[in-house]
């Protein structure tokens, strides 16, 4: 089920109503209801994959209990390897089987050896990358003795399948979310109102910014024939905002929905396009995934406790795996490697322009900060081109056009001939509004977190966002959230 | 000493459930008021009201035995001409922009509510089977007929989604209309319909100009003719409806400019005719070249108020039944 579907408009109030009514019946009843609702939510897309979700959850539940029962290091290691193996095995099969088989065949074909290997028509189950990673945080935490194993299967199954963040995150840590299933949830009116506001902001991001940008981006990137550099640059910049608004929008709706039920999820985005460097960008972008890779890949590899060369290697491995996590395509791997390469120089040379960026003189500080933000954004857009393009050669074509003199040609006549001019105007206005709101609220978790501001400001701000969402939302065939495919 | 910020201090605290619920109620009331205002003032919903009133008004026409269903090719000449008299024997439920889906929804509605109908004159225009007629601008107007019939086959996602689309501010079709109007207003580029209200505007163009426009319009209208499945499926469903109620279905094509008609390839039209007859259409009346005087046309593919009586008279002759209260004698007079 999609958050932006009419089904969800019916589903959410119904689930919430029963959930509230079950308060007197106790925590287990509420958890059981949450579990049932989550399975309905997931099965709405394709009920056949419920078995997979159930199976991997059961495996992790039993591994957790096994880890607690045995003190033998060898047994414990075997159990954690079983959990990692099952989760990553399932993920690897559904997501990467065809990619690795075809890459293997192509590699051998390159040296003149023709191989035959079966490729399967494997459907990628929605959210598999998210819930397997989230489940792993539990077994690893129990293995490291950071938390006790959970005995109550209902609470544990509800944690893995928790519908607000099941299919596209945030990837929660067991230590943060799981305990919330075993203490009475307090539903405060302020938190409830905050949840509604965050959902509203999420819908604005998705329906107005992301979907309007998507119309233009899809038309430009799917266009048969060459387009001038100016149009390709516009498409690439709009894609940067499309993916940000799409994914952060999803996260806002997820966080807002969870808060209605008395749950608090981790913040997933913190105005990443205002970052002044790439390390900062990765502390603000898809925080739940980047911190997952930091905790479970980068630090176990040695993190920054090793030599600088080793640190650089660790970073490159972490970012490459992060790219691969996004999809079974070389474009994602290149995207990951590029981001790794952006971060690595900091290991050796530190932060460029760090001093003027903190100068007391605003004439020095402000332009420096603006320059750092601009450079970070430009490099991010360059990496997004690889992320968006279906092939690496396609991405190079886009980069080539942008680097050509056609960058300086006017895109207006071409956009008009493609019927995109009005949508570009809407997208531009929506992005401006998004950035203005985020800048104004940059120290908050989301742009409509207005609890500390005057009530006289809260209402008009929410009403304005609501009206803009109503009148300037994208109309047409429903567009999936981009991160569903990962 | 500066005065304390009373607004911030007093208005942001002490948030209770009662306050939240009352705020939500106020917000809902404002939203409802916004919907009522939009419904009452927007041109889009005025069009919707006319659309549904045209169908429901048939109930007041007690003598109707023949019903016309189609798009603007029927609606422009027929709606005013046939529907004005409550005692008339024929009635048009055609509307500009309708696809065969909308025709089906309305035909089912009128056949269910008007038992006296024995003949359905249904559009057989080739352009109704082209790619451009898969989606209609009247989609949400016809949704209500699918909702009331509890039939999910015609709605885009599901009935619940179609019901939400009936809320004016949730309607995507309204939103598109609103944006178009806004864009026209902002750019001051209102496209003026050629000589609106002047039935002879088309005839004042030169032959070459008429041919050029007819070809251009015809090309656009007939793009992908016969390549999409949906129109054929809806046609079959209309024929099934009629068959179940023993209603005869006659396929009709109204006069158009030769340049327009030529954009529908002859072999494809022959193929379509053969399919229509096989599917259960009892007769095809092709009047595409029946009128040649530009004064009878509003544009390349719509007969105007001058040509309407001529076409109706021709149909009366072909069908051997009256479609108007008084038999017009215009063909003889010309």
Tell me the DSSP string of B204-224: GS-HHHHHHHHHHHHHHHTTT
* CB contact (8 A) between residue A455 and residue B17: no
Q: Is the peptide bond before A354 cis (omega within 30 degrees of 0)?
A: no
Q: Domain of A61? A: 6-185
- Please report the pLDDT score of residue B85 as a whole number: 86
Cβ contacts of B12 on chain A, cutoff 8 Å: 451-455, 458
Cβ contacts of A7 on chain B, cutoff 8 Å: 158, 160-161
* CB contact (8 A) between residue A192 and residue B20: yes
Helix (H) or strand (E) holding A289: helix A287-293
B17 to chain A, closest Cα gap in Å: 5
Sign of CA dihedral B215, B216, B221, B226: positive
Cβ contacts of A9 on chain B, cutoff 8 Å: 164
Chain A residue with minimal CA distance to B176? A475
Among A429, A457, A458, A475, pick the best mutation site for testing chain B contact (most B Cβ within 10 A).
A475
Q: CA end-to-end span of chain B, whole Å?
A: 95
- CA–CA separation, A195 vs A257, rounded Å? 6
The answer to the question of residue A291 being in a domain is no
Helices (H) and strands (E) in chain A, counts: 21, 0
Task: State the pLDDT confidence band at B334, using cuts at 50, 70 and 90.
Answer: very low
* CB contact (8 A) between residue B161 and residue A6: yes
Name the more confident of B267 and A452: B267
Do A196 and A181 belong to one domain? no
Name the more confident of A358 and A386: A386
* CB contact (8 A) between residue A452 and residue B158: no
- Please report the pLDDT score of residue B193 as a whole number: 46
Domain boundary among A139, A159, A185: A185
Whether the CB-CB separation of A253 and A3 falls below 8 Å is answered with yes
- Please report the pLDDT score of residue B34 as a whole number: 94
pLDDT in tens, A237-257: 999 999 999 999 999 999 999
Do A135 and A218 belong to one domain? no
User: Which chain A residues touch B if contact means CB-CB below 8 Å?
Assistant: 5-7, 9-10, 189-190, 192-193, 422, 451-456, 458, 463, 470-473, 475-476, 478
pLDDT in tens, B5-44: 433 334 444 678 898 899 899 999 999 999 999 999 999 9
- Of B331, B307, B324, B333, whose CA–CA distance to B76 is shortest? B307
- CA–CA separation, B236 vs B231, rounded Å? 9
B15 to chain A, closest Cα gap in Å: 6
- CA–CA separation, B243 vs B334, rounded Å? 39
Do A455 and A387 belong to one domain? yes
- Please report the pLDDT score of residue B190 as a whole number: 47
A155 to chain B, closest Cα gap in Å: 28
As given in the structure block, the two tokens for residue B312 are 């109706």
Do A103 and A196 belong to one domain? no
- Please report the pLDDT score of residue A226 as a whole number: 84
Sign of CA dihedral A182, A184, A185, A186: negative
* CB contact (8 A) between residue B161 and residue A471: no
* CB contact (8 A) between residue A189 and residue B161: no
Please list, in sequence order, all residues whose beta carbon lies within 8 angstroms of the beta carbon of residue A50, skipping any fewer than 6 positions away. A39, A42, A43
pLDDT in tens, A115-169: 776 666 667 788 899 999 999 999 999 999 999 999 999 999 999 999 999 988 7
Whether the CB-CB separation of A53 and A131 falls below 8 Å is answered with yes
Domain boundary among A151, A167, A185: A185
Tell me the DSSP string of A113-135: ---------PPPPTTHHHHHHHH
Domains defined for chain B, CATH in brackets: 64-135+201-333 (3.40.50.1110)
Chain A residue with minimal CA distance to B187? A422
How many interface pairs between A and B have CB atoms less than 8 angstroms apart?
53
Q: How large is the average pLDDT for residues A85-105?
A: 85
**Nearest beta carbon to residue A9 from set B164, B172, B179:** B164
Do A171 and A259 belong to one domain? no
The answer to the question of residue A386 being in a domain is yes
Q: Are strands B90-92 and B66-69 parallel, antiparallel or unpaired?
A: parallel
pLDDT in tens, B262-310: 999 999 999 999 999 999 999 999 999 999 999 999 999 999 989 999 9
- Residues of A that are catalytic: 326
Q: Is the pLDDT of residue A109 over 80?
A: no
pLDDT in tens, B105-136: 999 999 998 888 999 999 999 999 998 888 88
Q: Is the pLDDT of residue B195 over 60?
A: no
A457 to chain B, closest Cα gap in Å: 10
Do A467 and A377 belong to one domain? yes
Q: Is the peptide bond before A305 cis (omega within 30 degrees of 0)?
A: no
Do A208 and A103 belong to one domain? no
* CB contact (8 A) between residue A6 and residue B158: yes
Q: CA end-to-end span of chain A, whole Å?
A: 16
A467 to chain B, closest Cα gap in Å: 10
Q: How large is the average pLDDT for residues B220-249?
A: 93
The answer to the question of residue A256 being in a domain is yes
The answer to the question of residue A332 being in a domain is no
* CB contact (8 A) between residue B164 and residue A476: no
Query: Domain tally for chain A?
Result: 2
Q: What ipTM was assigned to the predicted interfaces of this complex?
A: 0.78
Do A160 and A204 belong to one domain? no
- Please report the pLDDT score of residue B14 as a whole number: 60
Among B26, B155, B179, B180, pick the best mutation site for testing chain A contact (most A Cβ within 10 A).
B179
Do A63 and A176 belong to one domain? yes
The answer to the question of residue A343 being in a domain is no
The answer to the question of residue A342 being in a domain is no
Task: State the pLDDT confidence band at A428, using cuts at 50, 70 and 90.
Answer: very high
The answer to the question of residue A322 being in a domain is no
Do A97 and A226 belong to one domain? no
Helix (H) or strand (E) holding A388: helix A362-388
* CB contact (8 A) between residue B158 and residue A470: no
Do A206 and A169 belong to one domain? no
Chain A residue with minimal CA distance to B17? A189
Cβ contacts of A455 on chain B, cutoff 8 Å: 7, 11-12
Do A195 and A72 belong to one domain? no
Helix (H) or strand (E) holding B68: strand B66-69
Q: Is the pLDDT of residue A63 over 60?
A: yes
Domain boundary among A132, A161, A185: A185
Task: State the pLDDT confidence band at B4, using cuts at 50, 70 and 90.
Answer: very low
Whether the CB-CB separation of A284 and A271 falls below 8 Å is answered with yes
Per the prediction, chain B carries an average pLDDT of 86
Whether the CB-CB separation of B139 and B180 falls below 8 Å is answered with no
* CB contact (8 A) between residue A5 and residue B157: yes
Half-sphere exposure of B218 (CA within 13 A, CB side): 21
Name the more confident of B298 and B330: B298
The answer to the question of residue A330 being in a domain is no
- Please report the pLDDT score of residue B8 as a whole number: 38
């Amino acid at each position: 089920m999609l958050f932006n579907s009419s089904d969800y408009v019916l589903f959410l109030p119904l689930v919430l109503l029963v959930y509230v009514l079950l308060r007197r019946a106790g925590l287990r009843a509420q958890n059981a209801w949450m579990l049932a609702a989550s399975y309905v939510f997931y099965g709405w897309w394709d009920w056949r994959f419920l078995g997979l979700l159930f199976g991997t959850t059961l495996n992790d539940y039993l591994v957790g209990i096994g880890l607690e029962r045995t003190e033998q290091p060898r047994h414990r290691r075997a159990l954690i390897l079983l959990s990692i193996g099952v989760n990553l095995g399932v993920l690897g099969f559904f997501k990467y089987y065809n990619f690795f088989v075809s890459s293997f065949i192509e590699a051998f074909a390159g040296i003149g050896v023709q191989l035959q290997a079966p490729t399967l028509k494997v459907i990628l189950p929605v959210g598999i990358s998210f819930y397997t990673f989230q489940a792993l945080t539990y077994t690893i935490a129990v293995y490291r003795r950071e938390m006790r194993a959970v005995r109550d299967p209902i609470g544990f199954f509800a944690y893995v399948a928790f519908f607000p963040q099941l299919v596209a995150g945030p990837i929660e840590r067991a230590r943060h979310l799981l305990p919330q299933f075993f203490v009475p949830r307090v539903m405060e009116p302020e938190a409830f109102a905050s949840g509604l506001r965050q959902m509203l902001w999420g819908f604005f991001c998705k329906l107005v910014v992301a979907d309007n940008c998507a119309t233009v981006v899809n038309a430009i990137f799917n266009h048969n024939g060459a387009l001038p550099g100016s149009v390709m640059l516009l498409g690439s910049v709009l894609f940067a905002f499309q993916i940000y608004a799409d994914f952060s929008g999803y996260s806002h709706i997820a966080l807002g929905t969870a808060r209605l039920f008395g749950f608090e999820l981790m913040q997933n985005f913190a105005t990443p396009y205002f970052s002044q460097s790439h390390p900062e960008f990765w502390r603000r972008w898809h925080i739940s995934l980047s911190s997952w890779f930091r905790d479970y890949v980068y630090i176990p590899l040695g993190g920054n406790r090793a030599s600088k060369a080793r640190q650089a290697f660790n970073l490159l491995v972490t970012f490459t795996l992060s790219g691969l996590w996004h999809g079974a395509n070389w474009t994602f791997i290149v995207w990951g490697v590029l981001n790794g390469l952006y971060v690595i120089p900091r290991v050796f040379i530190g932060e460029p322009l760090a001093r003027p960026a903190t100068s007391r003189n605003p004439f020095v500080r402000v332009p420096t900060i603006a320059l750092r933000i601009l450079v970070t954004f430009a490099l991010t857009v360059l990496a997004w081109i690889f992320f968006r393009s279906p092939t690496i050669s396609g991405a190079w074509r886009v980069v080539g056009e942008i680097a050509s003199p056609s960058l300086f040609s006017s895109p207006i006549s071409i956009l008009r001939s493609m019927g995109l001019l009005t949508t570009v105007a809407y997208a531009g206005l929506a992005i401006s509004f998004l950035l203005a709101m985020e800048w104004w609220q940059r120290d908050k978790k989301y742009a409509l977190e207005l609890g500390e501001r005057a009530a006289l400001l809260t209402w008009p701000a929410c009403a304005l966002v609501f009206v803009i969402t109503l009148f300037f939302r994208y109309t047409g065939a429903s567009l999936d959230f981009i991160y569903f495919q990962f | 000493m500066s005065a304390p910020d009373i607004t911030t201090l007093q208005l942001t605290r002490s948030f209770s459930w009662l306050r939240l619920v009352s705020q939500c109620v106020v917000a809902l009331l404002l939203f409802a008021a916004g919907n009522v205002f939009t419904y009452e003032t927007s041109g889009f919903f005025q069009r919707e009201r006319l659309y549904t009133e045209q169908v429901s008004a048939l109930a007041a026409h007690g003598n109707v035995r023949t019903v016309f269903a189609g798009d603007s090719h029927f609606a422009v000449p027929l709606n005013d001409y046939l529907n004005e008299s409550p005692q008339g024997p024929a009635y048009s439920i055609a509307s500009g922009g309708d696809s065969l889906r909308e025709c089906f929804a309305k035909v089912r509605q009128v056949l269910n509510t008007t038992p006296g109908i024995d003949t359905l004159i249904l559009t057989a225009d080739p352009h109704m089977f082209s790619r451009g007629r898969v989606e209609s601008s009247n989609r949400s107007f016809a949704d209500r007929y699918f909702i009331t019939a509890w039939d999910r086959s015609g709605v885009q996602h599901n009935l619940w989604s179609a019901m939400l689309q009936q809320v004016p501010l949730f309607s995507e079709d309204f939103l598109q209309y609103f944006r178009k109007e806004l864009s026209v207003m902002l750019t001051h580029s209102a496209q003026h319909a050629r000589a609106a209200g002047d039935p002879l505007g088309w005839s004042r163009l030169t032959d070459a100009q008429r041919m050029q426009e007819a070809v251009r319009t015809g090309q656009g209208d007939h793009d992908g003719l016969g390549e999409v499945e949906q129109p054929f499926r809806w046609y079959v469903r209309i024929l099934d409806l009629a068959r179940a109620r023993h209603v005869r279905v006659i396929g009709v094509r109204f006069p158009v400019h030769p340049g327009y008609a030529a954009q529908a390839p002859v072999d494809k039209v022959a193929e379509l005719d053969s399919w229509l007859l096989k599917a259960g259409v009892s007769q095809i009346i092709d009047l595409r070249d029946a009128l040649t005087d530009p004064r009878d046309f509003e544009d390349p593919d719509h007969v105007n108020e001058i040509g309407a009586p001529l076409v109706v008279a021709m149909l009366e002759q072909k069908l051997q039944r009256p479609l108007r209260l008084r038999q017009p004698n215009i063909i003889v007079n010309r």
